[in-house]
Amino acid sequence: MNAADFRRIALALEGTTEAPHFDRIAYKVARTYATLAPDKRTANIRFTSDQQQLKCTVAPEAFAPLDNAWGLQGWTMATLSALSRPELQAALEMAWRSALPKTSTTKKRG
């Protein structure tokens, strides 16, 4: 996979927008779920802790937690060339689902 594939898959996810984010390009719905690096060879994808652990264990050549506080929050570097289309699609869909806006039925009543 490459940056064009990443962009195409991300923008195909309903409600996703693309915008500059510092030196990166961010993809978001209610919140940012992925960013594409300036070199266009890697991307950062936000997973839950469990999802991050699974991805990094199953495909360590493709996924690695960021080596900072963002990594502790689930942000994971993906090496695009190490991913197949189904792997990249699944990773982006997983992150996208977590970034969707909360519906009124999922909000706490108070």
Q: pLDDT tens, 49-88?
A: 999 999 999 999 999 999 999 999 999 999 999 999 999 9
Note the pTM of the prediction, 2 decimals: 0.90
Instruction: Give pLDDT, residue 110.
Output: 44
CA 99 – CA 93 distance, rounded (Å): 10
- Map tokens 């915008």 to a residue: 19
Q: What is the pLDDT of residue 104?
A: 52
